[in-house]
Amino acid sequence: MSSPGLTPSRWWLTMLNLQRQPLASWHRARLREELRERRLAETSWQKLSETSDVLFSITRAQYDGFPTRNPACLSGLNSSPIHMYMLAKYTSRWSFFKAAALFCNARDWKLVHEVVNPSKDHKLTEVASRHEIDEKDFRRVSNQLRRIWPLFP
């Protein structure tokens, strides 16, 4: 599954091929935002989802070369369910955007590497703009895909 020297999470992040974020401040801001959202989570599912977002922020920061400590919300937890949820959630988003770009006949659909929340319309607009895909067409295709695509909250 993985190449020599690559941990499973590094292999996965290499596959996602997200744009590297060279500033530690970008990663700190994402982590603060995710920790705030986790504190506001009320249900068990919301807490699992937000905890997976915290874990993703930490994993991505480490992948981009910024050492981070695990926050208190991750200490003492069996992180296997959180890891599994994170992998499913972000891989589903990544493949959603690839499929949407392909169905829009985007010339460079293979270069679309996104994991933002496709349930938010403004995120669809941002992704279309970043990849020079017709926004109206991209939103139409994405709205159709959202009816059948397995997206995780």
Confidence of residue 1 (pLDDT cuts 50, 70, 90): very low
Mean pLDDT of 84-89: 95
Where is pLDDT greater, at 72 or 120? 120
**pLDDT number for residue 125:** 97
Range 40-44 average pLDDT = 96
Domain boundaries along the sequence of the chain = 1-77, 86-153
The pTM of this model reads: 0.90
Mean pLDDT value across residues 95-107: 97
Contact 53, 34 (CB under 8 A): yes
DSSP secondary structure code for residue 140 in this structure: H
Amino acid at 135: E
CB contact set of 11 (below 8 Å; sequence gap of 6+):
1, 2, 3
Based on the number of CB atoms within 10 Å of its own CB, is 75 exposed (0-12), middle (13-18) or buried (19 or more)?
A: exposed
Element (H, E) at 38: helix 24-40
Which residue has better confidence, 9 or 124?
A: 124
Residue that the structure tokens 């599954």 belong to: 1
CA-to-CA dists, residue 10 to 2, 33, 34, 56, 113, angstroms: 9, 23, 21, 12, 16
Supply the pLDDT for residue 4. Answer: 54
32 contacts 25 by C-beta, under 8 angstroms? no
